[in-house]
Amino acid sequence: MKITPMSRLTSISLAALMLTGVCVSAIATPATTQSATLQAQATAKKRLVVMDFDYGTTNSYYSSYRGVGAAKGISELLINELVNNGTYTIVDRSKIEQALKQQNHTGPIDAGTAAEVGKQLGVDAVLIGTITKFNVDKQSGGGSFLGIGSRSEKTKAIVQIDVRLIGTASGDILATAKAIGEADQSDSSVSIMGIGGSSSTNNEDTLLSAAVDQAVSQMVTKLAEISKKLG
């Protein structure tokens, strides 16, 4: 069979088109796969609502911490950090009060109430927590010799958060976590014949804030690890 120049040109053109199609398919497939993966990851995020934390201890700092109750303030900080972390989809808490009013509920939130609120808000889980430590401890010591005295003081802030993750569908406790934040400061003073100076400063609120930030950061990391185990 004799192949004319025109037939040969047509064959080459068809082959080139087929090769181009293969290359385009090879390039497009990874992009499509990546898009599907990202969409699946977004869908897989658990929808979570964080309730106001409770007080598990008594301390004068509760009434003054950042202008609001310490427990509520810490739960709000945790919400902000969870949103920035992106592991969970955090539902706006503005709807919580309305849900609780519809249930005529007041006081601490237990696992059963949390599950009911979660169902009403359409979330996968509800996080309830307690501030079990919110303390400032001070230790001091010193002495004198030949009219020369010295004194030292150490101030330490400790904040502990305990949380439970309640499944909306079952009402069961899916996971628990604990986070502890600490911050301290040492001050000293020296006196000669009763006359002296001091480097002491009162930074209790600053130390508590630092301890809170550390505990919240630690809790976000733990909750991110827990999310990998949730079905």
Q: Is residue 166 part of a domain?
A: yes
The predicted structure's pLDDT at residue 220: 97
Q: Is residue 41 part of a domain?
A: no
Instruction: Quote the distance between the C-alpha of residue 43 and its chain's center.
Output: 20
Q: Is residue 39 part of a domain?
A: no
In a shared domain, residues 111 and 141: yes
Q: Is residue 40 part of a domain?
A: no
What tokens does 217 get? 């950061």
Q: Is residue 59 part of a domain?
A: yes
CB 52 within 8 A of CB 78: no
In a shared domain, residues 24 and 53: no
Q: Is residue 30 part of a domain?
A: yes
In a shared domain, residues 131 and 179: yes
The residue with greater pLDDT, 107 or 201, is 107
The predicted structure's pLDDT at residue 20: 47
Lowest-pLDDT range of 70-79, 93-102, 111-120, 153-162: 93-102
The predicted structure's pLDDT at residue 182: 94
Q: Is residue 160 part of a domain?
A: yes
User: Average per-residue pLDDT in the chain?
Assistant: 75
In a shared domain, residues 73 and 30: no
In a shared domain, residues 28 and 50: no
Q: Is the pLDDT of residue 127 over 80?
A: yes
Lowest-pLDDT range of 114-123, 131-140, 196-205: 196-205
In a shared domain, residues 8 and 104: no
Q: Residue 53 and residue 109: Cα distance in Å, rounded?
A: 9
In a shared domain, residues 57 and 5: no
In 3D, which of 44, 74, 6, 17 has the Cα closest to residue 217? Answer: 74
What tokens does 123 get? 């979330």
> What is the number of alpha carbons within 13 Å of residue 113 lying toward its C-beta?
16
In a shared domain, residues 51 and 100: yes
In a shared domain, residues 132 and 81: yes
Instruction: Count up the domains in the chain and report the number.
Output: 2
Distances (CA, A) of 42 to 116, 175, 220: 25, 22, 19
Q: Is residue 205 part of a domain?
A: yes
In a shared domain, residues 156 and 191: yes
In a shared domain, residues 84 and 21: no
Q: Is the pLDDT of residue 6 over 80?
A: no
Lowest-pLDDT range of 7-16, 81-90, 168-177, 184-193: 7-16
Check which CATH number belongs to the domain holding 164 and give it. 3.40.50.10610
In a shared domain, residues 15 and 90: no
The predicted structure's pLDDT at residue 140: 67
**Domain that residue 11 falls in:** 1-34
Q: Is the pLDDT of residue 86 over 90?
A: yes
Q: Residue 138: what residue type? A: K
Banded model confidence at residue 192, pLDDT cuts 50, 70, 90: low
pLDDT tens, residue by residue, 212-229: 999 999 999 999 999 988
